[in-house]
Amino acid sequence: MSTARPETPRPEPVEISLLPIGVRPGDAAQQDGGCGDACGCGAGDADDFAFDPLECGLDPELAELLAAAGLDPVQVEDIAHLAIEEDLDQGVDVTTVATVPEEAVATADLTAREAGTVAGLRVAEAVLSVVCTEEFEVERHVADGDRVVAGQVLLTVTARTRDLLTGERSALNLLGRLSGIATATRAWADALEGTGAKVRDTRKTTPGLRALEKFAVRCGGGVNHRMSLSDAALIKDNHVLAAGGVAEAFTAVRTALEEAGSAGTPIEVEVDRLDQIEPVLALGADLLLLDNFTPEETRQAVELVAGRATLESSGRLTLGNARAYAGTGVDYLAVGGLTHSAPVLDIGLDLRAGPEAEPLSARDAGEGA
């Protein structure tokens, strides 16, 4: 059964500046801020980014949009370059070069093939920008975090046909991956709506893509846990074993942080039994990770802690029992599956059928006449 495409106002085209492939950016910007306890995601205001758009090879407007979303434009540009360079492998797109005239220009729609929550549209633009051989135009129909339906156009791009086809797969790989994470997160956020609990991610992310994947979690209505091992301390069973006990591990971590001048760094401790909670609270833990507790055990833990620390449930969690855990009064539900198991959202790039488009230079000349 077909789904009617919703009415979408046609926005003004946005002109993206040339970015030759192989351009390398300057030093990465420092990120600041966060979304939740022990979060270092950098999703603060755009002003929090101490970067000069001129140091980034991306179009300044696109770089500002990425920064406003809590992403480092230089890092996104690096990822875009890596994706394209991996796909070309120091060569060319032999199929496209053989079948598409060099001067041909086309308009393409990036279209959702299924319903979901979109994330990574500006990242897809960045990928296309590193492969385009001259300026191109984009029309932005939706924003990251929007719910979309099957058949809905997300982004329209006009550029040289060869460039569109060469960058297609790399752009879609990232856009589909991030939108899949946002869609999975949205399902959890919807399940928890009306409760005091929030779903948040873990460090179970794709190497090199952590910042993007945690951004996708935010687009889906989730919040971020720590971005890196240095953002916060999380004492787990192996740390306890190595240190000789939970008290020993906690004391060692606290002492190390104080000596490093980082006494305010949050310390979270994993517990798997109710009788471990009071001793850990006495040590001064900021957060407790309740590992594999049942809903009833979680309720008892909430009553025992009585607001003295933030509580996070981990293990045994499913969409089916999410509200049962949230109803206990726990603060967070930690779900690694948001990033390590989310299916890709099916998004395609379709060239518009019709007469061959004129070169962009001719279009510009005509508009100015």
**What pLDDT digit, counting tens, does each position of 288-318 carry?**
999 999 999 999 999 999 999 999 999 999 9
C-alpha–C-alpha distance, residues 269 and 253, integer Å: 11
C-alpha–C-alpha distance, residues 137 and 72, integer Å: 23
DSSP SS3 for 284:
coil
Is residue 29's pLDDT more than 60? Answer: no
Output phi, psi for 113, to 5 deg.
-90, -15
Predicted pLDDT of residue 39: 56
Q: Choose, from 5, 236, 273, 352, the residue flagged as catalytic.
A: 236
Can you list the positions of beta strands (E) in the chain?
14-16, 105-112, 116-117, 136-140, 147-148, 153-160, 198-200, 233-235, 267-271, 287-291, 310-314, 332-334, 347-351
The per-residue DSSP string of 298-330 comes to HHHHHHHHTTSSEEEEESS--TTTHHHHHTTT-
User: pLDDT-derived band of residue 136, with 50, 70 and 90 as boundaries?
Assistant: confident
Any catalytic annotation for residue 139?
Answer: no
Question: What's the rounded mean pLDDT across residues 134-140?
Answer: 90
Q: Choose, from 59, 77, 270, 331, the residue flagged as catalytic.
A: 270
DSSP SS3 for 94:
helix
Q: Choose, from 169, 203, 299, 308, the residue flagged as catalytic.
A: 169
Any catalytic annotation for residue 214?
Answer: no
Of residues 362 and 71, which shows the higher confidence score?
71
Predicted pLDDT of residue 57: 86
Global pTM?
0.83
Q: Choose, from 140, 147, 203, 204, the residue flagged as catalytic.
A: 204
